[in-house]
Structure 1
């Protein structure tokens, strides 16, 4: 009984704590068990809509598929439009109404967060909340925008932080696109970088990078292939977590253990 109470509390806390996928999630990819990959493939019915920058996630998944990590069959990659489309939420409703088995929706930014006002960012957050209310069985993934080289003093940094703060405060699911670009695998921070991932080339010159990562601007739109590869790893972390995987020995941040005498 005590164990059951604990598990209930942990489950509720996990939902309240939300999920942030960032550069630390990339480093956890190697610990994902095969059972979690299998569960994600079985449970994921996703719609990912984006333009060129957002294609980096799917290119990363494709690179990993070359290594044996088959993309979930229910993952729909929609290279068509992005969050700059004023009707993105209406398009989402149309797709969800036609796909009642959907479990996940993700939309990517292009460069819009580099100039958007606070009010425009808040409008994005409000639309996401409205969709969550209308489709309670679907996970909606919030995103930050790609780096643009403007650094911590830029509008992009401010808007990304606005989205991060909202997601953490309200227990949302966040794919932190910019954070993944900001750190190399050693954890070195590059606050003034761009989506080109300038540190990626240097890293791959001095370390072993994936064998299918051979070009700076090949199939990885606007960026180095290692950036795409890492975003693919982060996407798998996201899918595994949403499918129920909880890394061994970890407890949600707000989990409370009820001790009975």
Structure 2
């Protein structure tokens, strides 16, 4: 699973440079050699990414991008990233936080972060699910994401009224698998809702759950109850 995330996360990071409509990053988006060098250069020059996650989400930065840097000296420079974008690296700032639906603190945290003048250049926001996934939260998650897009996305209200100059691309995520079979069934239903929503509304989706259900050779092993590890 980690190998696929190493490959597909590059598409997540570089996609906002080229996508006019929605796009799904899943286990089929897995050939690192298909990423043009000019995409990588443009990503480093243009993207300012804020990534909110907990443990499972570390497959993207610590287990993904960092693994690429360790692969070879060439990759160490080519796929370098840090929290400020200094030294020609990709700007990828990560904070440990969970999607909390009891008080919707994640939504307020996102708004406060984007409204802070110090973060005026941020143009990509990603939130990763952790094991705190409940089917009842999915509808609210989709509502909240659309509200953020309506305010901060291209032609969003805060862009049009001048409160913010830089529009933000929000990347949707599916939830990781669970060890419990009954919980996995709920995760499946919730993820299907997220996939359908993104397809119908032309949103960008990082299909974490799909990726973790396939081995590096593209063979399905989801019946083994993947738990995101």
Range class of TM-score, shorter chain: 0.7 to 0.9
Say yes or no: does 1:159 pair with 2:190. yes
1:105 to 120, 125, 137: 125
Question: In 2, distance between residues paired with 1:175 and 1:148?
Answer: 18
Rate the CA distance shift 1:29–1:151 in 2: closer, same or farther, 3 A.
farther
Say yes or no: does 1:96 pair with 2:114. yes
Structure 1 contact 151–193 (Cα < 8 Å) conserved: no
Question: In 2, distance between residues paired with 1:62 and 1:151?
Answer: 34
Aligned length: 180
2:178 to 122, 127, 148: 148
Superposed CA deviations along residues 161-186 of structure 1, whole A, max 9, x for unmatched, are: 11001001110011111111011232
1:15 to 20, 37, 41: 20
2:50 to 40, 47, 51: 47
Superposed CA deviations along residues 203-222 of structure 1, whole A, max 9, x for unmatched, are: xxxxxxxxxxxxxxxxxxxx
In the TM superposition, residue 194 of structure 1 has moved relative to its aligned partner by 4.0
- Computed over aligned residues only, the root mean square deviation of the Cα atoms, in angstroms, reads 2.1
Please, what TM-score do these two structures have when normalized by structure 1? 0.64
Equivalences for 1:116-155 in 2 at 5 Å? 116-117=135-136, 120-136=137-153, 137-149=167-179, 150=181, 154-155=185-186
Question: In 2, distance between residues paired with 1:112 and 1:161?
Answer: 17
Say yes or no: does 1:31 pair with 2:34. yes
Match of 1:102, SS state, is coil
2:105 to 87, 90, 104: 87
Rate the CA distance shift 1:193–1:33 in 2: closer, same or farther, 3 A.
same
Higher RCO by CA contacts (8 Å cutoff, separation 6 or greater): 1
Question: In 1, distance between residues paired with 2:225 and 2:127?
Answer: 20
Residue number in structure 2 paired with 1:170 = 201
Rate the CA distance shift 1:134–1:29 in 2: closer, same or farther, 3 A.
same
In the TM superposition, residue 191 of structure 1 has moved relative to its aligned partner by 2.2
5+ residue gaps, structure 1, are 1-13, 198-222, 224-261
Question: In 2, distance between residues paired with 1:94 and 1:153?
Answer: 33
Match of 1:147, SS state, is coil
Question: In 2, distance between residues paired with 1:105 and 1:61?
Answer: 17
5+ residue gaps, structure 2, are 1-18, 86-90, 154-166
Please, what TM-score do these two structures have when normalized by structure 2? 0.72
Say yes or no: does 1:71 pair with 2:120. no
